[in-house]
Amino acid sequence: MTALFTISGIVVKGNQLGRKLGFPTANLDLPDASRFHHLTGVYAATVELEGVNFPGMAAIGFRPTLNQPSFTVEINIFDFSRDIYGEDITIRFLERIRDEIRFSSLEELVKQMKQDEVECRKILSVLFNPDTNTQ
């Protein structure tokens, strides 16, 4: 599966809301982040960490649902609980699944993220499920 594009950077602490919502994310420290504004959206993605790839779902955008919106590039890594602050990661954006939405509550955002997870796991299963991997 060829990546649409790739972004690398150091993981920094977000505002830690993701953890409370049940979807912790690794946020990238990106000097000059405005060059990524046109890529805003939600994606099935992989993240490479110390040479190993993990599946996840990534978001690029302004996070209009939050009280204090700010532009970020972030990824929720599936089945992953390690603390990776300060580590250098590479996110490969494989398929764009939707636009960023301004939800009227965090509950609605979480509901949508649950659906995003199902969709992204399906998209990525060919890469990570040995039964369907023909290589």
Ligand X SMILES: Cc1cc2nc3c(=O)[nH]c(=O)nc-3n(C[C@H](O)[C@H](O)[C@H](O)COP(=O)(O)O)c2cc1C
| Residues near ligand X (CB under 6 A) | 14-18, 23, 25, 27, 42, 57, 59, 63-66, 74, 76, 100-101, 109, 113, 116
Closest by CA position to 62, among listed 43, 84, 38, 44: 38
Q: What is the rounded CA–CA span in Å between residue 125 and residue 88? A: 25
Q: Least distance (Å) from ligand X to the CB of residue 2?
A: 21
Residue nearest to ligand X (CB): 14
Q: Least distance (Å) from ligand X to the CB of residue 100?
A: 4
The token pair at 84 is 């990776």
Cβ 25 vs Cβ 75: under 8 Å: yes
Helix (H) or strand (E) holding 106: helix 106-128
Q: Least distance (Å) from ligand X to the CB of residue 43?
A: 8
Q: Determine whether 19 is exposed, middle or buried from the number of CB atoms within 10 Å of its CB (0-12, 13-18, 19+).
A: exposed
Cβ 106 vs Cβ 114: under 8 Å: no
Q: Least distance (Å) from ligand X to the CB of residue 131?
A: 25
**Which C-beta is closer to ligand X: that of 2 or that of 67?**
67
**Which C-beta is closer to ligand X: that of 54 or that of 74?**
74
